[in-house]
Amino acid sequence: MTEHHDVLIVGAGQAGLSLSWHLVQRGIDHVLLERDKIGHEWRDGRWDAFTLVTPNFQCRLPGFSYTGEFGGQDPDGFMPRDDVHRFVTSYAAGFGPPVREHVEVTRLTREDDGLFHVASSAGEFTARQVVVATGGYHLPIVPAAAERVPEEIVQLHSSLYRGSPELPDGAVLVVGSGQSGAQIAEDLHLAGRTVHLAVGNAPRCARTYRGRDCIAWLEDMGVYDVSATEVPGGAAAQEKTNHYMTGRDGGRDIDLRTFALEGMRLHGRLEDVRDGVVTFAPTLGEALDHADAVAESIKDSIDRWIAARGIEAPEQARYVPVWHPEQEVTDLDLAASGITSIVWSVGYRADYRWIELGVFDGRGRPRQTRGVTGTEGLFFLGLPWMHTWGSGRFAGVARDAEFLADRIQELSPARHLVAVR
């Protein structure tokens, strides 16, 4: 038999749960289908030493916050992996969302009856409205060059990295210097491994400046409230890699130049692998300078904000580079360098092949405005830059969820509302 609901939400991470909270409050019939368990990505998709890079005070979901209902005592700190998982599961336990765990959605269509039809591992569902809250990071990207890596070298994507002990003895090549790549390189470096890091074009941000965490300054400045339609640079700015920083050990800068002084081998962008030799583009110096320039530009913005409002904040000396590449290594023999494993940290791509509706652009991304698509009743939630920079984070998902809850309620006939107990 086919099960029917007014609203069906695919995914029970923080985005899907945030929307469910609003629907429960409004008495709107709905169900969430989760392919694993609630919040499983925080438990299963992060390495052992993972911490948030955003301060705990930004962890606020509808009706639930870090310092409030969760009872956290360190708002300026950074929750480790297991605490983040507990934050999300505690949120769900607090209001009892109608979640079906271990149910994988395999197909979404809209039929002549005007309803959305959902095929899943638990059977067929129909719904008047559907919300896709699965995020945008589905399929790990591994470049074609990986196919030419000698078979004796262990390769894994950053999503499968858990820690140094699980890799074979020897040096490690980390490819990619975004948030995950930079932090994994740091994790291996602190574990005493010889690390080679292929540095990309990711910018960086200082952890603190003039007495506060930079993210706290940026939040006060309204940076996380700028909409996708107003951000300078438009769509190109939205495609940029996130700034690398860390919340480890209470939070600190990630300075690749300092790592180089301590023995980490830095290289430019990886271009190819042939006959056991990795080729890098001579882009290291340019990449390091770019990352530093972005970090300093953020400090410039903070300085202007402080000055314009007469805020009392301690002065702080600006960053001075501690290391420069004298001669870039563009060819690296894996065997001669003692490299026994490679961690690919070059991102993910979205996979919406199960959605058989014409709501995607030529690159497979949903065409939406604040989560609302051109197909009435179909919504997306929890995507980066869905509305603002914070849309894909704890910082912004609550606002996005409330906006969609309003749209859903407008389309929900009164007779389909259920009594709130």
Calculate mean pLDDT across residues 277-294: 97
Cα dihedral sign, 235-241-245-247: positive
Average pLDDT over residues 130-156: 95
| β strands within 284-338, DSSP E | 331-333
Given this chain, do its domains 3-138+350-416 and 141-344 carry the same CATH topology?
yes
Q: Model's pTM, two decimal places?
A: 0.94
Using CA atoms, how far residue 123 sits from 18, 184, 330, in Å, is 25, 40, 54
Q: Exposure pattern of 30-60 as b/e (b: 16+ CB <10 Å)?
A: bbbbbbbebbbbbbeebbebbbbbbbbbbbb
| Residue 176: per-residue pLDDT | 96
Going by pLDDT thresholds of 50, 70 and 90, the confidence category of residue 234 is low
CA 271 to each of CA 95, 317, 329: distance values in angstroms, whole numbers, following the listed order: 50, 37, 13
Instruction: Look at residue 51 and give its three-state secondary structure.
Output: strand
* Three-state SS letters, 77-124: CCCEHHHHHHHHHHHHHHHCCCEEECCCEEEEEECCCCCEEEEECCEE
Give the list of residues 6+ apart from residue 51 with CB closer than 8 angstroms, or none.
Answer: 78, 79, 80, 81, 246, 247, 248
pLDDT for res 419: 40
- Least trusted range by pLDDT, from 80-84, 270-274, 324-328, 390-394: 390-394
Query: For domain 3-138+350-416, is the CATH number 3.50.50.60?
Result: yes
Residue 406 has pLDDT above 50, yes or no: yes
- Indicate if the pLDDT at residue 363 is higher than 50: yes
Topology at the third CATH level for domain 141-344: FAD/NAD(P)-binding domain (3.50.50)
Q: Can you give the residue ranges of every domain in the chain?
A: 3-138+350-416, 141-344
Radius of gyration of the chain (CA): 23
**pLDDT band for position 415 (50/70/90)?**
very low
Question: Average pLDDT, whole number, for the chain?
Answer: 94
> Cβ neighbours of residue 125 under 8 Å, at least 6 residues apart?
2, 3, 4, 5, 8, 31, 33, 117, 118
Residue 17: which of 74, 87, 72, 80 has the closest Cα? 87
